[in-house]
Amino acid sequence: MNVHDSEKMLGILHGQGYARAESPEGADLIIFNTCAIREKAEQKFYSQLGRTKMLKRRRNEVKIAVAGCVAQETKERLFGRAPYVDFIVGPQNIHLIAETIGGERRTALLDDNRELASTEVAARRGSEIKAWVSIMFGCNNFCSYCIVPLTRGREVSRPSSAIIAEIRSLSEKGYKEVTLLGQNVNSYCSDITFPQLLRRIDALGIERIRFVTSHPRDLSDELIRAVAELPHVCEHIHLPIQSGSREILSRMNRGYTYEEYMVKIEKIRSEVPHVSITADVIAGFPGETSRDHEETLRALRAIGYDGIFAFKYSPRKGTKAAEMDDRISDEEKSLRLGEILKLQEEITLRKNRALEGTVQEILVEGPSDTDGTLLMGRTRTNKIVTVAGDGYVQGSFVQVFIEQARHHSLSGKPLPC
Ligand code: SF4
């Protein structure tokens, strides 16, 4: 979401005559678009921000803006902590970035701004084949560990007509894939529901449609049916579980039990053949006993995700969980995280190996990060595949015979068209 917010700010500023600088040293304006989801991200930001202090000393005319969730969380206090910061722009106000940086220094724009959903912004995107498309902003869920409802505000959905117009225009420009973005896309609510929105987008004919993130409680049968039936909607669902323990899920205020979550998983698997399912997991939530942790490991074994994002619990000021008794040492959290990641690596490898000898369609994204002589693409199920690169252009669809599976990717041989 932050990456796309940056694309939007870049688009607005480009319209004002700005161009992307090669380095901070050569820039007239530096914007930090910050993430507050975990403490580590926030610390990283502060250490990078500190480096711009010298820059500002050398060239006082450089403008420094801080956008995103840390901006919203710290508010004007940030001016006290880093007096060389000129502008503070919360995530609900990024559409006003041009006015802000054109105005008086030491301005903070932090209102709960619901106009964001109805303001059209021409994003300057990082890719010419894949595009993020916001469908809603904010979140109403208040999971006890999460700062997002406090920084991005309450849920507000974009009008369906605006979303459809944006995707139609992307398709006309040659984009092959869109990812619909929202903190909880399943609760999208305008004149139509999220499954209805998917059906309308599918009818536009853009080749691939993805969406993130789904909240397990709101994932409806109607949505599963849409994923199963619609030819352009990819067979991949990211469904964060966070923990396998009933007690911990309740303390997290997630609104489902492990058993209820499993019912959804079974339903998805029975209706969407070859679907890949991924999730987020938190290790060491306050009060998590070794038994709760074992239940998470048991859940991972039982579900067999294609991949997970797992992190150590990190207290966020202002959230309910930050007030809970957090007696698990950092060492223990690391140990639990290590066990989770190790188990999942084995599961992912096993799942990837099952694809050896099959043919998968990939959308070619460009040269591989690890070996520039190879091309990299993704399957509909969002698995990374590398192939020998002769004759395939970025944005083309290629049928690949999968020869080898690794922990995080597959490799294979393109089949003749
Ligand atoms: S659903 Fe929960 S974890 Fe996700 S953004 Fe909302 S509050 Fe945070």
Compute the distance between CA of residue 17 and CA of residue 233 in angstroms, rounded to an integer: 37
Beta strands in 153-272 (DSSP E): 156-157, 177-181, 208-212, 236-238
pLDDT at 417 over 80: no
Q: Please provide residue 185's backbone torsions phi and psi, each rounded to the nearest 5 degrees.
A: -60, -25
Provide the whole-model pTM.
0.95
Q: Is the CB of 181 under 6 A from ligand 1?
A: no
Q: Is the CB of 100 under 6 A from ligand 1?
A: no
Decide: 40 and 53 in contact? Cβ < 8 Å: no
**345-365: b (≥16 Cβ within 10 Å) or e:** eebbeebbeebeeeebebbbb
3-state secondary structure of 227: helix
Q: Which two tokens stand for residue 79?
A: 């001016």
Q: Please provide residue 255's backbone torsions phi and psi, each rounded to the nearest 5 degrees.
A: 80, 15
State pLDDT tens for residues 84-102.
999 999 999 999 999 999 9
Domain ranges in the chain? 2-113, 116-353, 359-414
What pLDDT, on the 0 to 100 scale, is given for residue 389?
Answer: 75
Compute the distance between CA of residue 116 and CA of residue 131 in angstroms, rounded to an integer: 19
Which residue carries 């853009």 as its tokens? 206
pLDDT at 391 over 90: no
Q: Topology of 2-113 in CATH?
A: Rossmann fold (3.40.50)
pLDDT at 371 over 90: no
Nearest by Cα to 295 from 250, 246, 241: 246
Q: Which of 2, 69, 139 to mutate to test the pocket of ligand 1 (most atoms within 8 A of CB)?
A: 139
Distance 166 CA to ligand 1 centre (A): 26
Distance 73 CA to ligand 1 centre (A): 16
May I ask the CATH architecture of the domain 116-353? Answer: Alpha-Beta Horseshoe (3.80)
Q: Is the CB of 215 under 6 A from ligand 1?
A: yes
State pLDDT tens for residues 121-178.
999 999 999 999 999 999 999 999 999 999 999 999 999 999 999 999 999 999 999 9
What pLDDT, on the 0 to 100 scale, is given for residue 216?
Answer: 97
Domain 359-414 class, CATH top level = mainly beta
Residue type, position 80, single letter = G
Confidence of residue 116 (pLDDT cuts 50, 70, 90): confident
Query: Which residue puts its alpha carbon closest to atom 2 of ligand 1?
Result: 143
381: which residues sit within 8 A by CB, 6+ positions away? 234, 235, 236, 274, 275, 276, 306
Compute the distance between CA of residue 244 and CA of residue 281 in angstroms, rounded to an integer: 9
What pLDDT, on the 0 to 100 scale, is given for residue 290?
Answer: 97
Average pLDDT across the chain, whole number: 95
160-172 helix and 194-204 helix, angle to the nearest 10 degrees: 30
What pLDDT, on the 0 to 100 scale, is given for residue 375?
Answer: 94
245: which residues sit within 8 A by CB, 6+ positions away? 258, 288, 291, 292, 293, 295, 296
The gap from C-alpha 210 to its chain's centroid, in whole angstroms, comes to: 12
Q: Is the CB of 139 under 6 A from ligand 1?
A: yes
